[in-house]
Amino acid sequence: MRKKFLDKNENLGLRLTLAERKLILEDPIHIHDEIADPIRATLTGFPVLLTLDQLEDLGGHVAAEANHSTDKKLRKMLDAILSKIQDLLETHTDEEPPKSLKIDDAQRGKPLAKQSVQLAERAAKLLIGAEQLGIKTKPVARFPLPEAERAVLLMIPAIDENIHKKLATLKPKLAVGEVGGLLMAVAEAMIDAHPSHCFALIMAAKSLMDCLEAEVTGALEPTPGSVRSSVVYRLRITLEDIEPAIWRLVEVPDCSLGELHEVIQIAMGWQNSHMHQFVVNGKHFCQALLDDIDLADEAGIRLSQIFKGKKKPRIVYEYDFGDSWQHEIVLEKTLEPELKVKYPRCVEGATRACPPEDVGGVSGYADFLEAMADPKHPEHREMKEWIGGKFDPERFDLNAVNHELRTL
């Protein structure tokens, strides 16, 4: 396999779970500050940016500790970290390839410049449409950016002061025009963005664009209730590999997988802080980040296309590729919509809370619950501080979930 060439000072993104970060930063792995500092400074949910030399150095420390460890659980975690590092090292090199194979660096000087222009042009057209429809001052139904992505946007100097103040609040309430202005500022920032911010800006731009398009196209479409889906799908969503089971039963009209993603996030209790994908009968559907990236777009396929015929499809929704939360989605039945019911809605759910974000997957969640349940556990105090006090694994508020689903 041909390795991708990187400059010696160019960074690669290493995705680590919260548990893996803690393990690396604590003894017995002794790493230099030049590696530890980027890990500490990186926002939760974002990849840690390290050079190839730093990755090799970190891999050496992890491998050495794994070879000497007699703790099977610790060795398994170290091996998982080492595997991620090796995947990057095996596909990248800082040894310059022959001139005939080298891509013209002059054309790669500003890799996001083309996308920036596309975003700005599309945002400008949508803002004109919003002006013509008289919805620029209308509050958006649900602002799409999680706290981690908002933190990146707060560093953009071109953002209007009033919008900046709103972004700093827990639940920002922005108007359609303000979302458009924010998208324009992101598009401008992408041109000269530092490599460590590029991915976060792309994700934020996609979410803002989806929000803006939904508001404008929604204003063009018939009002809710004048046209209703002819069928409602009752879906059971179960978080895999956890006992007792954590599940939700939701009823949704015909919608895209992208729209179903929003329903799952609210019904389960996630914070929409990480990437996700759907796997339908082995085919992967993702959130397309930009028009020129070749991905199967989750917005392009609807439930009515999936649930056709007698054979039931196998559907898995994966959230957070680091923690890798796998959700099985099963169609229980199809129903006729009730006239007085607002869809989507959650009709039932196991009285169990969703695991905390970045807890470390299934095994990390088990360790977290064990530490929280035992005040004498060596990590009890640390876990309690991390979660912000109490955590009730049996708490599920159906009314609160449906209240938020009504904002979709």
Strands (E), 121-196: none
Paired tokens of 75: 């060795």
Which of the pair, 340 or 150, is modelled with greater confidence? Answer: 340
At 211, which helix (H) or strand (E)? helix 195-220
175 Cα distance to chain centroid = 24
**Mind listing the pLDDT tens digit for each residue in 283-325?**
989 876 544 445 678 888 899 999 987 888 999 999 988 889 9
User: How many angstroms separate the CA atoms of 57 and 355, rounded?
Assistant: 33
If you average pLDDT over residues 17-37, what whole number do you get? 79
- Cα dihedral 172, 132, 215, 154 in deg (nearest 10): -30
- 248: left (phi > 0), else alpha (psi -120 to 50), else beta? beta
Place of tokens 């890799």: 111
Q: How far apart are CA 267 and CA 343, in angstroms?
A: 13
**Backbone Cα Rg of the chain:** 23
Output DSSP code: residue 141: S
Nearest to 48 by CA among 74, 80, 81: 81
Residue limits of CATH 3.10.290.30 in the chain = 232-353+392-405
Q: List the one residue out of 289, 327, 275 whose CA is nearest residue 45.
A: 275
H-only helix segments in 225-337: 257-268, 303-306
DSSP 148-193: HHHHHHTT-TTS-HHHHHHHTSSS---BHHHHHHHHHHHHHHHHT-
> What pLDDT was estimated at residue 223?
44
Strand order in the sheet with 276-280: 283-286, 276-280, 315-319, 325-335, 232-239, 246-253, 345-349
Query: Which tens digit of pLDDT belongs to each residue from 344-395?
Result: 999 986 668 999 998 989 999 999 999 999 999 999 999 999 998 889 998 8
Average pLDDT, integer, range 145-161 = 77
Give the pLDDT of residue 224: 43
Q: What percent of the chain has pLDDT over 70?
A: 86
Tokens of 227: 């046209």
Q: CB–CB of 142/208 below 8 Å? A: no
Tokens at 185, concatenated: 């500022």
Coil, helix or strand at residue 5:
strand
Max CA-CA distance within the chain?
A: 68
How would residue 237 be classed by pLDDT, with cut points 50, 70 and 90?
very high
The per-residue pLDDT for range 166-198, each reduced to its tens digit, is 888 877 888 888 888 888 888 888 877 776 667
Q: Is the pLDDT of residue 278 over 90?
A: yes
What is the model's pTM? 0.54
Mean pLDDT to the nearest integer, 137-166: 79
Range 232-353+392-405: architecture per CATH: Roll (3.10)
**Which of helix, strand or coil describes residue 181?**
helix
pLDDT band at 106 (very low <50, low <70, confident <90, very high): very low
Continuous segment of H or E residues that includes residue 13: strand 12-14
Angle at 17 between CA 14 and CA 23, to 5 degrees: 95
What is the identity of the amino acid at 263?
Answer: V
| Count of alpha carbons within 13 angstroms of residue 58, beta-carbon side | 32
What is the CA angle 249-257-182, rounded to 5? 115
